[in-house]
Amino acid sequence: MTSSPRKLDTADASAPVTPMMAQYLEIKAGHPGALLFYRMGDFYELFFEDAEIASKTLGIVLTKRGKHQGEDIAMCGVPVVRADEYLQRLIAHGHRVAVCEQMEDPAEAKKRGSKSVVKRGVVRLVTPGTITEETLLEPTRTNLLLALARLRISDDEARFGLAFADISTGEFGLSECDEAGLPAEIARLDPSEIVMAEAVHEDAELASLWRESRAAVTPVGRDVFDGSQAERRLAAFYDVGTIDGFGSFSRAELVAASGLVTYILRTQVGQKPALDPPRRDGASAHMAIDAATRANLELTRTLGGERAGSLFDAVDRSVTAAGGRLLAQWLASPLLAPEAIALRQDAVAFFAEQALLRGQVRARLKSAPDIARSMARLALDRAGPRDLAALREGLTGIAAIEALLRQRESELPPVLAGILSALARPDQGQAARLAAALQDDLPLLKRDGGFVRAGYDAGLDETRALRDESRRVIAGLQARYAEESQVRQLKIKHNNMIGYFVEVPQQAGEAFLQPGLRETYVHRQTMAGAMRFSTAELSTLESRIASAAERSLASELQIFSDLAAALIADGAAIRAATEALALLDVIVALAVLAEEENYVRPVVDTSLAFAIEGGRHPVVERALKREGKPFVANDCELSGEGEGQKAAGKIWLLTGPNMAGKSTFLRQNALIAVLAQIGSFVPAKSAHIGAVDALFSRVGAADDLARGRSTFMVEMVETAAILNQAGPRALVILDEIGRGTATFDGLSIAWAAIENLSAVNRCRALFATHYHELTQLTKKLPRLANATMRVTEWHGDVVFLHEVVPGAADRSYGIQVAKLAGMPAAVVERARAVLAQLEATDRQAPAARLVDDLPLFAAAPRAPAQPAIKARDEVAEALDALDPNDMTPRQALDALFSLKAKRDSAKKG
């Protein structure tokens, strides 16, 4: 999806190129993998294949300009003032953009000669993982850049170092895993861009990872991940003599971190973002959730990629962008340690009980801007006056919230005490200085000026007075010239080409060319319907005005620089307070959630417990509440027992018809575990959960045609991953295993999978199925229990009660569901007749015999031939005797009643 340098090779150019085009080709050759935004006045222009790509992606007009190597030069452009809008669309399509700016005033270039070209240079490489502009970023989504380093341990084994940073906030973390754990780590981090060495990118065994990832993938040269330079590059980035003070990291992590900062410096063309020191964020501290499970459970986005309908959307009550980002990270990485979970729960419980304080803090949080991203733009010299205003408001809010918490300091639980300490760190004078310096109404760009408040700087006030007085002089001069010349339409105007000038209608302008006026008015331009002149007096005044305006803007830019430098110097304290503010927002938001939705505090410990009373699905419940409908709560008891090799959890085998709520029940228990282990209260009457170390889900049907995988193949791959990885502390939810193939094949696979879950994985599990034969396994597997979705029939229609009760379903009610779906009546009736014949063969008998005769994990015996059916059902024989073509309507009705009577008699017998 990046541009190609093929058409830009000038080595074999058959004709000379213009100086400007030569400059463009030279700059483009240095950035062959990016679209080049080449600044020309008020536009960024793109040429050749870059223009073709941008024109197609952005939907803008493609034009031609001149020739190169005998071919027309394709060209398109975007206005500089709307560049962010177009960048956003290009980045969303996976492109990288090199921004090439004019490095001098065009007037300076003209001094070198008429054919001299304005100096230009690439000031930044914009990629999905390195954007900082507010308009390009999602407020509640962390924009991670992930660097991936591979270290070979042997021919068959490798370790992967992962370094990830959000340069828009300063977050920087490290982790390490093996190849098997790499997909889950990438899914957990959900980066916007992944950087890796070309050799890793071209590894066929890893290719599926890059195809499946939502991230842009950027292969780079091996020098970026040069292990011999890793520690030196990191020390140089942080301007320290040694990185020992940052902690102890593995070799793979150090190489990845070095590759990350190297790539960042190259894309930012020497500008250094303010990154926190790297911190280890190992997978061992979090619940393992693979990519398929994340997608099935829709933790932070739905299968369609939308936030609406996800768990995050259902539980998010945060009021700041940073709080939203942090909550999404928590949901992606639930904790494992009960002690850490309890600390978060204590903080949530405190605010759940303190309604007044909660409301006061929340009101302050609502006005807090995105301080972290404004600080990042300051460090990269991309900030504007509104970023300073954001920091002014943010620092004021931090001080106010600190004062609120300080009043209850002795009552605060440990997490909130830590937040209070961090909120006190920034220099309290910063907000006052910013308030004194900044106007109330601020421009977007600092180069526009006018953002410093009058009275803040005496020198600036003096310069502004001169500038503004000169403007009044211009107005007076215009009035005098109009009176002297008797031309009321006379105007004094300004443009960048000729500066200030006098403009009059063309008819009046002829008089200015005659003796008497031409000595004062020097002709400059003749326009359509107007003529332009200059005067010596106007030229002198222009010089004074230009000097005052330039000095005024220079003074404002210096004030901006001084304010920014003071904030950057206090950057570590401000970032710590910003992180504390985000943490406080999430805690308060979870307390609000608990109160609004009647959530309870769960018990999370190191046992194998999984006892949920009155559990509810947070997403479905919210949707039903909008429709004014209640959610039917259900219990779940999967608690295990034993320790070490003897530890094992329970398995529930869940049967019942489609639409009865099996999938909802499965998912809600998994989501309750996730919420419990982020420190949240949960939707239940009570909950006791032994910390789940890995969560696995196989729910729903999907194919992967691009990789040649059918729906059933995808199902089997995901099931295999679960059976190969789940341990005693895992929670597994499986839905309809084996339904994508022939009946007996599918039944056999499901049967064997349950046996494996019980005897090998020994995990807590929910297994939903339509294979009623599997319910017989409870006779062999003591930790397997049958549960079913309760339904009832009313006037021939099935009514779903959405209740989970002990026992097994004896029917699937598929035909009733088909009827509810609007299946044609003739099809429904035909299905009933076929089902009646199939049920007459007593197809459950073979399964019952297998339970008695087939030991666990025994070699499968050859299935015996089924004995011939010796007698036919009375009803079937009666049907065969009927000829509908020879029957009157009355005879047909009598025959129907007769058949029904025989069937009822057979049932009673």
Structure confidence by residue, pLDDT tens digits, 571-583: 999 999 999 999 9
256-265 core/surface letters (b: 16 or more CB in 10 A; e: else): bbbbbbbbbb
The predicted pLDDT at position 269 comes to 86
Compute the distance between CA of residue 727 and CA of residue 692 in angstroms, rounded to an integer. 10
Identity of the highest mean pLDDT range in 113-122, 466-475, 661-670: 661-670
| The token pair that represents 751 in the structure block | 């049967």
Binding site per annotation, positions for ATP: 656-663
| The token pair that represents 380 in the structure block | 């990269």
Task: Say if residue 89's pLDDT is above 60.
Answer: yes
The mean pLDDT of 794-818, rounded to a whole number, is: 75
Compute the distance between CA of residue 875 and CA of residue 896 in angstroms, rounded to an integer. 11
286-290, 599-603, 704-708: least confident range? 704-708
Compute the distance between CA of residue 874 and CA of residue 544 in angstroms, rounded to an integer. 113
The predicted pLDDT at position 855 comes to 53
Confidence at 676, pLDDT banded by 50, 70, 90: very high
Size of the chain in residues: 909
The mean pLDDT of 44-60, rounded to a whole number, is: 94
Compute the distance between CA of residue 774 and CA of residue 796 in angstroms, rounded to an integer. 27
Contact 124, 268 (CB under 8 A): yes
Closest C-alpha to 655, from 645, 644, 666: 666
The mean pLDDT of 77-82, rounded to a whole number, is: 90
Compute the distance between CA of residue 394 and CA of residue 582 in angstroms, rounded to an integer. 12
Count of helix runs (H) and strand runs (E) in the chain: 31, 27
Percent of the residues in the chain that have a pLDDT greater than 70, as a whole number? 89
Compute the distance between CA of residue 483 and CA of residue 479 in angstroms, rounded to an integer. 6
Task: Say if residue 760's pLDDT is above 50.
Answer: yes
Confidence at 709, pLDDT banded by 50, 70, 90: low
Compute the distance between CA of residue 23 and CA of residue 401 in angstroms, rounded to an integer. 54
Q: What is the mean pLDDT of the chain?
A: 86
pTM score, whole prediction: 0.80
The one-character DSSP state at 758 is I
Cα distances (angstroms) measured from residue 22 to each of 15, 19, 106: 12, 5, 18
The mean pLDDT of 753-759, rounded to a whole number, is: 92
The predicted pLDDT at position 6 comes to 40
| The token pair that represents 84 in the structure block | 């962010």
| The token pair that represents 357 in the structure block | 């304080």
pLDDT digits (tens, 9 = 90+) for 141-195: 999 999 999 998 887 889 999 999 999 999 999 999 998 889 889 999 999 999 9
Closest C-alpha to 668, from 632, 618, 601, 630: 618
Angle at CA 482, nearest 5°, toward 479 and 486? 145
Percent of the residues in the chain that have a pLDDT greater than 90, as a whole number? 55
Residue type, 197: A
Confidence at 668, pLDDT banded by 50, 70, 90: very high
pLDDT digits (tens, 9 = 90+) for 459-497: 899 888 878 887 788 889 999 999 999 999 999 998 877
Closest C-alpha to 182, from 166, 165, 162, 196: 162
| The token pair that represents 215 in the structure block | 């991230």
The mean pLDDT of 37-58, rounded to a whole number, is: 93
The predicted pLDDT at position 848 comes to 54
The mean pLDDT of 433-455, rounded to a whole number, is: 92
Q: How many Å separate Cα 472 from the centre of its chain?
A: 53
Contact 223, 158 (CB under 8 A): no
Binding site per annotation, positions: 656-663
Task: Count CB-CB contacts under 10 A for residue 414.
Answer: 11
Q: What is the 3-state secondary structure (H, E, C) of 400-461?
A: HHHHHHHCCHHHCCHHHHHHHHHHCCCCCHHHHHHHHHECCCCCCCHHHCCCECCCCCHHHH
Report the sign of the C-alpha dihedral through residues 859, 862, 864, 866, in that order.
Answer: positive
The one-character DSSP state at 858 is P
| Residues 6 or more apart in contact with residue 752 via CB below 8 angstroms | none
The one-character DSSP state at 709 is B
44-58, 74-88, 879-893: least confident range? 879-893
pLDDT digits (tens, 9 = 90+) for 391-404: 999 999 999 999 99
Structural domains of the chain ordered from first start: 6-126 (3.40.1170.10), 139-285 (3.30.420.110), 316-454+572-596 (1.10.1420.10), 458-560 (1.10.1420.10), 599-853 (3.40.50.300), 874-908 (no CATH)
Half-sphere exposure (CA, 13 Å, Cβ side) for 880?
7
Task: Say if residue 212's pLDDT is above 80.
Answer: no
Contact 263, 163 (CB under 8 A): no
| Residues 6 or more apart in contact with residue 143 via CB below 8 angstroms | 128, 129, 131, 137, 166, 168, 192
**Residue 78 φ/ψ, nearest 5 degrees:** -130, 145
Beta-ladder partners of 785: 652
| The token pair that represents 640 in the structure block | 């295990």
